A and B are shown apart, each in its own frame.
Chain A
Amino acid sequence: MKVSIYRYNPETDREPSMKEYEVDTQGKDLMVLDILALVKEQDQSLAYRRSCREGVCGSDGMNMNGKNGLACITPLSQVAPGVLEGKKPLILRPLPGLPVIRDLVVDMGMFYNQYEKVQPYLQNNTPAPAIERLQSPEERAKIDGLYECILCACCSTSCPSFWWNPDKFLGPAALLQSYRFLADSRDNATEERLSKLDDPFSLFRCHGIMNCVSVCPKGLNPTRAIGHIRSMLLERGI
């Protein structure tokens, strides 16, 4: 099958270009990450990130035939019809909207900055008990679908609002994390958290485009989380 990969080496290239490779999968429905490993055996200069290879570390987010996802848990058959059969090339590009360091490796700095802005850690100024802080299963259930985020950036880099304002709009990933702490019964910094979100950009640039939801490899729903935060802001503001 044919693989077409976005290549850019700042030492030698002025502009990025697409490079074609021929890979023999022996008809097997391999994961995209396996294909990258095969290409790297041919061409050691190819750069991409990878770690757990099972979809929990979030290293290998990339754009595969137009759609963001994790290479390690995306089988060829799922990328696009015809790719596995070799009728169509597999097209691999870096996550959109972030500066490319090399090949498929993007500079995640802006993404992490936005994550840090939401103070992604539990805040509770009451003295800690000798045991755990009690939390009912119902209270705990409120952070299901939020804490599982792996910071792969697939969502934020598929979001047009984040493309246009990556420094001002927090993006779906950071907002999901913001709500993860707003929804945690053990956290009591709600007012402080909300007060940082009611400007026109941080949260309100979300227009319900839902690209984030459609690409999240963990099946999480930032759009809904953002909706919940908006409701909290509304209650607080009027």
Chain B
Amino acid sequence: MVTPVTSLGRNGLYDWLIQRVSAVIIGVYLIGMLGYLMCTGDLDYGSWKAFMGSVCMQIANTLLVIAVAAHTWVGLWGVTTDYLTSLTFGKAATGVRLIAQVAIALALVVYLLWGLVLIWGGA
């Protein structure tokens, strides 16, 4: 059995589940948010700030950023292990892949923290 250390769930089934659950969260959020923005018409700062500052939205936003980070990680981990292999990079593949994965992971951690600060920082 292949259990790569960089897989999030350390198991195909859990990776797959994480991907699906996070997708549902993001999907519902996106549809809701787009709906809100399209229906509200001309948005002003006050109402926007109040809307995003509500506990409800804070929870939703927190869920969203976590879901995005997880979803992106599983997705991009798949991308790197598909394309950054010995087929494309020969012997250097493992190194290249690791660097890419570390870069992606760092970026996602930054995004995640940034997002959390935005959500909770104003409160």
Contacts and interface: CB of A to CB of B under 8 A. Distances in A.
Contacts of B11: 198-200
Q: How many B residues are at the interface, by size bracket? A: 10 to 19
Interface stretch (A38-46, A102-110, A161-169, A182-190): A161-169
A200 B85 contact: no
B100 to A, nearest CB: 15
Question: Which of A164, A200, A230: most chain B CB closer than 10 A?
Answer: A200
Question: Which of B12, B15, B16, B82: most chain A CB closer than 10 A?
Answer: B12
Given A164-B87, A168-B2, A199 B12 contact: yes
A48 interface: no
B94 interface: no
Interface string A194-205: 001111111111
Interface in A199-222: 199-205, 207
Contacts of B2: 168, 199-202
B81 interface: yes
B13 interface: yes
A233 interface: yes
Contact of B12 (A164, A203, A207): A203
B82 A164 contact: yes
Nearest to A204: B12
A165 B85 contact: yes
Nearest to A194: B13
A52 interface: no
B1 A199 contact: yes
Contacts of A160: 82
A137 interface: no
B24 to A, nearest CB: 15
B48 interface: no
A48 B7 CA distance: 41
Contacts of A168: 2
B81 A204 contact: no
Interface string A212-238: 000000000000000000100110011
A204 B17 CA distance: 11
A200 B15 contact: yes
Contacts of B4: 200-201
B3 interface: yes
Nearest to A166: B87
Contact of A196 (B1, B14, B78): B1
B5 to A, nearest CB: 11
Given A165-B81, A165-B82, A234 B13 contact: yes
Nearest to A198: B13
Nearest to B3: A199
Interface of B: 1-4, 7, 9, 11-17, 78, 81-83, 85, 87
Given A164-B81, A204-B13, 12 more contacts: A164-B82, A165-B81, A198-B12, A198-B13, A199-B1, A199-B11, A201-B2, A201-B12, A204-B16, A230-B13, A230-B16, A233-B13
16 contacts: A164-B85, A165-B81, A165-B82, A197-B12, A198-B13, A199-B1, A200-B2, A200-B4, A200-B11, A201-B4, A204-B16, A205-B82, A230-B16, A234-B13, A237-B13, A238-B17
